[in-house]
Amino acid sequence: MIRHTANWHDEPTNHAQAGKLPRDAATSIPPAVTGSLSITAATADPALLDLPWHIALEDWPSETLAPLPRGISRHVVRFAMMGGTVIAIKETSEHVARHEYHMLRKLRRLAAPCVEPVAVITGRKDTSGNDLDPVLVTGHLKYSLPYRALFSQKLRRETLTRLIDAQALLLVRLHLTGFYWGDVSLSNTLFRRDAGSFAAYLVDAETGELYPGLSSGQREYDLEIARVNIAGELMDLMEAGLIEDTVDPVATSEDILHSYRGLWAELNDKESFDFSERWRVDERIRRLNELGFDVEEISLKTSADGGQLLIQPKVVDAGHHTRRLLRLTGLDVEEGQARRLLNDLDAYKAKKHPEMDEELAAARWVSNVFDRITGAIPREFHGKLEPAQIVHEVLEHRWYISEARGSNVPMEEAVASYVEAVLRHRRDEARLMLEPDVELGE
């Protein structure tokens, strides 16, 4: 008789005492599990033990899997249901799984855009006692898609440019934390809609390393890896007829160089100007805030004759607009969405409640605008886009139809028009089922 055991190595609370399971997980082991599972997890969720770890990942039964689109990977990757959540599971070696798990945990503590590490599971065996590969388990990033799922018949040049810009911003943010990626590519990234752009998230950190800071050589090498990988990915799409014929894969791949270097220079370069132009200090800070970054301090130096000022900002973190919206409303959204919603909030306050405290006006805006829009969306359409993206698109839609009419369109009419003209025809991005012949719309 084979004894079923599982060792939990939990962080920060260790539930493993003498190799025993948490009490409520002890009866959750599937009857077919053999051997001794070792689970390293940030939070001990007994639901992990309900999954068929005794089966090779590529053979998992369909009723266990979540029908979500997968990107290209050198490993076997599957999405599965765990309780009421979706997780991503990747088979790999134990060393790689543990390295990536701990790297993702460090990046999350640094507030870097990446997927959430859930667990590393080793000691897997099939019913015949044969060893199976260890797995890394990460959380599924809701409303995110691999780049190949963001186009329909062909990837348009405009969409491709937005993806590469998002990839460049992601790389800048990672480099600011001291993270060297080592395998930058569209395939190793997930994208979420962010107002009119995209937000990019790192999804594969197995080649990454964290340093106190990166040299220009390390950053440029990561950038060259990105250029080469993106060129190869675009060539594959071109060969399959999935991007517009006018796109040059090699030239387009170089867009990430220009986007990255321009952003890096804006964030880090010194700037010199006449002492009489002191207003340019505030202008520099505003530009950085518009890019979504906060400035911790400004270094100011005067020239020997007092006629010149030299400034260098110390940028501490991205998410300037996200943090302000979260503080005012409790809404946690992407940076571009936050910028758009804050614009509407500020306009609402100026028009409706100019003398009211900012926090009170924000609470009124949430009730009278944000909740009013999301509450008017039919239930059957709730999974198509995340609420913040829907509100952004409704506000844009209202502006366009008001301009066309030459008068202000009431919000109720704008929402109804948006639902029928736009949202009804969008994909369900909360749970996207893909079949080989399904056409995906942008």
Domains annotated for the chain, with CATH where assigned, are 5-139 (3.30.200), 147-266 (1.10.510.10), 270-318 (no CATH), 321-425 (no CATH)
DSSP, residue by residue, 274-338: EGGGTHHHHHHHHHHHHTTEEEEEEEEEE-TTS-EEEEEEEEEEE-HHHHHHHHHH-----HHHH
**Is there a contact between 45 and 87 (Cβ–Cβ < 8 Å)?**
no
Cβ neighbour number for residue 346 with a 10 Å cutoff: 14
CB atoms within 10 A of CB 304: 6
Distance CA 212, CA 307 (A): 36
- Of 147, 149, 144, 127, nearest to 56 (Cα)? 127
- Residue 270 has a pLDDT of 75
User: In this structure, what token pair is assigned to residue 289?
Assistant: 């805030």
Residue 84: helix, strand or coil by DSSP? coil
pLDDT of residue 69: 60
* C-alpha distances in Å from residue 78, one per residue of 57, 139, 257, 280, 428: 7, 12, 33, 51, 20
Q: Radius of gyration over alpha carbons of the chain, in Å?
A: 25
pLDDT at 296: 61
Question: What are the pLDDT tens digits along the chain (442 aa)?
Answer: 233 344 444 444 343 333 333 333 333 445 445 458 899 987 767 888 889 999 999 999 988 888 766 656 678 899 898 877 889 999 999 999 999 999 999 999 998 999 999 999 999 999 889 999 999 999 988 888 888 777 655 667 787 888 898 999 999 999 999 999 999 999 999 998 888 788 899 999 999 999 999 999 999 999 999 999 999 999 988 888 888 888 899 999 999 999 999 888 888 777 777 767 766 777 777 777 777 776 666 677 777 776 677 666 666 567 778 888 888 998 988 888 888 898 899 888 988 888 888 999 999 999 999 999 999 999 888 878 889 999 999 999 998 999 888 888 899 999 999 999 988 877 665 444 333 333 333 4
Q: What is the pLDDT of residue 70?
A: 62
Tokens representing 10 are 């939990």
